[in-house]
Amino acid sequence: MLDRKNLVNAGVLLAIVGVSTCAAATCSSLESNIDYQGLDIGSARSASVNGCCSICSKTNECGAFTWTNYNGGTCWLKKSKGPTKVNNGAVSGGADVGNAHSASVNGCCSICFKTNGCRAFTWTNYNGGTCWLKSSKGGSNSNPGAVSGVLQTSNSGSSVDPASAKYSVAAYAVGDWGQTLDMSSCCGGTYNNFDLHAQEIVGKLMDIQAGTAVKPKAVLGHGDSFYWTGIDSLESRDSRFQTTYESRYNGDNIKNVPWVNVMGNHDYGGANYVCNVGDQLVQCNSTAEMLQGLENKFRYQADYTSPNDNRWALDDRFYVRRIEDAATGVSIDIFNIDMNDADIAGSHGVCCQCYGYAKDDNGGCGSIARGDKHCCGGDNDMYDTCMAKFVQWAEDSRMQLTKQAKASTATWKIVNSHFSPIQHYKEDGMHKWLNALNGTGIHAFIYGHTHGEKHDYSDSLRIHFVENGAGGGTKKEFASTIPSFATQYVKKEWAYTGDEYGFFSVEGSKDWLKLQYHTADSKWKFTENWADMTIGGVATKHCWYIPRDGSEGKACL
């Protein structure tokens, strides 16, 4: 039997409308003592593995399973086959929904349409002709004589031309945007005039775009809003907001648009002391003081009141904001989450506070470890308590995201985060987040941290992942690459060139979500002094139409 990973890229697209009854399914080859990890959608009792195939075929979105003898026998149902690990006694299989006899490929479309959970198929001449039914289109390779196709359902938006759709509600998104007062975040080492004025330029671009397209009803801030150490004190908070926020996003088209924000690792202190006395960052005297320091970092931003229509919002570590166009009823739910327990430059650096303890001797802070003298001064209890707090916040975000996204009635669902579940976690952490996202109907997951811009897509999750960290607060870098352990879940759609700054916009219609990346066009002339700058226009270098059903969509023409 063909595994999902071996679908041939034959270019056959078949349009199907509606649903029908479940057809019988047969299992793919079973793998003994193998456990498929992650992408769980549920479980069901079965005394033996023999029942799992039928259960999986009758369960919406099930494409694989692992059976164990837990609780007298349990089928652990999966969206697709994930990474494998040895687990004595476990039996896994069913990466295909099933198979059925058909003398030619012409019968496969109808069979797949009538089979619950089938969204794609491959036909081969095996046994006189066989349709191998799939829960989704996987990877592809050449297989002479095989023909493959994908079902396209009525809610995919394909019946409406996205170029002529009415886009009535919009949001902007910008990440890692808050330059330091001394400009060290933008301009250490080699830099150019775009680097020097990056935050102001992006703010100007947002204002220009808001005056020429659908005006945004919200700006998603991905965190790292105040480099390097967040807001250091209540006394200095308002002046810092005025200098690197209010004055940078003050154009007539943008200055009263609400911002919905999340915390980044630098907002929590970066890797410096999290405690303060006035404006001075100081060593925490106890674990309790450290916890209060973390809370202060959050509250300094959460309690801020903007003089521009109170536009700044940081309601909680998890919260939901809806924007909507009353005339069309098109709405977007924005799910704001805290992922600062990330494995890559997340809570470990914040909790060690190495740049505070090491002071000028901070060359080893990049490789600091628990127990080192410059990690909490060697206080492991303080470090462990700090790490546990970030885990608690992330677990709460995962739980609430799954629950509230599934319950959401919004036309479009977007996650706003500082970190990515794919780029900034090791494999185990990634699976926790992918399992939480599975089946939620999230359309786009937009994040920062990496100071680059790119767009990836997960067919198994039906989610578009958007990296958006070149907002101008610190020097741009190349977009991240997909880790090898995640390539089976996501693929690259686009990445920027790595030599500019910008922001993303989303515009929603009833059937399509238009995703765009914007940067400075060639008419800009960057100079050392802002007063001498030649202000140009907005260049849109990436545009993508996302269908309502979360499928891959297509590039704008």
Instruction: Quickly list DSSP for 449-465.
Output: SSS-EEEEEETTTTEEE
Q: Let me know if residue 61 belongs to a domain.
A: yes
Q: Is the pLDDT of residue 7 over 50?
A: no
Asked if residue 129 and residue 58 are part of one domain, the reply reads yes
Q: Let me know if residue 361 belongs to a domain.
A: no
Tell me the backbone φ, ψ of residue 84, rounded to 5 degrees: -110, 150
Asked if residue 256 and residue 186 are part of one domain, the reply reads yes
Q: What is the pLDDT of residue 366?
A: 93
Q: Let me know if residue 387 belongs to a domain.
A: yes
Q: What is the pLDDT of residue 448?
A: 99
Q: Per-residue DSSP letters for 341-409?
A: T-TTTSHHHHHH-HHHHSTT--TTGGG--TTSTTSGGG-HHHHHHHHHHHHHHHHHHHHHHHHHHHH--
Q: What is the pLDDT of residue 152?
A: 52
Q: What is the pLDDT of residue 22?
A: 32
Query: Residues 54-105: pLDDT tens digits?
Result: 788 777 677 788 889 888 889 888 877 767 777 878 777 764 667 888 888 8
Which of these ranges, 52-61, 302-311, 524-533, has the smallest mean pLDDT? 52-61
Q: What is the pLDDT of residue 138?
A: 53
Q: What is the pLDDT of residue 158?
A: 53
Asked if residue 427 and residue 495 are part of one domain, the reply reads yes
* CATH number assigned to the domain comprising residue 535: 3.60.21.10
Q: Is the pLDDT of residue 6 over 50?
A: no
Asked if residue 194 and residue 149 are part of one domain, the reply reads no
Q: Predicted confidence band at 135 (pLDDT cuts at 50, 70, 90)?
A: low
pTM score of the predicted model:
0.78
Q: What is the pLDDT of residue 557?
A: 86
Residue 254 vs residue 1, higher pLDDT:
254
Q: Let me know if residue 188 belongs to a domain.
A: yes
The strand ranges marked E within 127-185 are 130-134, 147-152, 169-174
Q: CB of 102 within 8 A of CB of 64?
A: no
d(CA 516, CA 537): 15
Average pLDDT along the chain: 89
Asked if residue 330 and residue 201 are part of one domain, the reply reads yes
Q: Is the pLDDT of residue 435 over 80?
A: yes
Asked if residue 192 and residue 107 are part of one domain, the reply reads no
Q: Is the pLDDT of residue 16 over 70?
A: no
* CATH number assigned to the domain comprising residue 69: 3.50.4.10
- Which residues have C-beta within 8 Å of that of residue 411, sequence separation ≥ 6? 329, 330, 331, 332, 508, 510, 548
Q: Is the pLDDT of residue 354 over 90?
A: yes
Tell me whether the omega of the peptide bond preceding residue 494 falls within 30 degrees of 0, making it cis.
no
Q: Is the pLDDT of residue 199 over 60?
A: yes
Stretch 114-141: mean pLDDT: 72
Q: Let me know if residue 73 belongs to a domain.
A: yes
Closest alpha carbon to 228 in 528, 475, 503, 519: 475
Rg (CA), the chain: 25
Which of these ranges, 146-155, 259-268, 288-297, has the smallest mean pLDDT? 146-155
Helix (H, G, I), strand (E, B) or coil at 14: strand
Q: What is the pLDDT of residue 12?
A: 33
Q: CB of 163 within 8 A of CB of 544?
A: no
Considering 156, 191, 212, which residue would you say is the last residue of a domain? 156
Asked if residue 179 and residue 113 are part of one domain, the reply reads no
Asked if residue 502 and residue 460 are part of one domain, the reply reads yes
Q: What is the pLDDT of residue 140?
A: 53
Q: Let me know if residue 143 belongs to a domain.
A: yes
Q: Which residues pair with 221 in a beta bridge?
A: 174, 261
d(CA 225, CA 174): 10
Q: Is the pLDDT of residue 27 over 70?
A: no
Considering 156, 182, 200, which residue would you say is the last residue of a domain? 156
d(CA 49, CA 52): 5
Stretch 412-432: mean pLDDT: 99
Q: What is the pLDDT of residue 153?
A: 46
Q: What domain range is 455 assigned to?
A: 171-226+235-261+285-349+381-555
Q: CB of 483 within 8 A of CB of 343?
A: no
Q: Let me know if residue 269 belongs to a domain.
A: no
Domains identified in the chain, total number: 2
Q: Let me know if residue 74 belongs to a domain.
A: yes
Q: Which residues pair with 92 in a beta bridge?
A: 31, 66
Q: Is the pLDDT of residue 18 over 70?
A: no
Q: What is the pLDDT of residue 93?
A: 73
Q: Predicted confidence band at 1 (pLDDT cuts at 50, 70, 90)?
A: very low
Stretch 203-216: mean pLDDT: 98
Asked if residue 188 and residue 146 are part of one domain, the reply reads no
| Amino acid making up residue 320 | V
Q: What is the pLDDT of residue 96?
A: 61
d(CA 96, CA 47): 22
d(CA 435, CA 442): 13
Asked if residue 177 and residue 117 are part of one domain, the reply reads no
Asked if residue 324 and residue 197 are part of one domain, the reply reads yes
Query: Residues 226-249: pLDDT tens digits?
Result: 999 999 999 999 999 999 999 999
Considering 156, 188, 210, which residue would you say is the last residue of a domain? 156
Stretch 43-47: mean pLDDT: 87
Asked if residue 182 and residue 110 are part of one domain, the reply reads no
Stretch 330-347: mean pLDDT: 98
Strands 147-152, 12-15: parallel, antiparallel or unpaired by DSSP?
A: parallel
Q: What is the pLDDT of residue 151?
A: 56
Query: Residues 142-193: pLDDT tens digits?
Result: 666 767 666 554 445 457 899 999 999 999 999 999 999 999 999 988 999 9
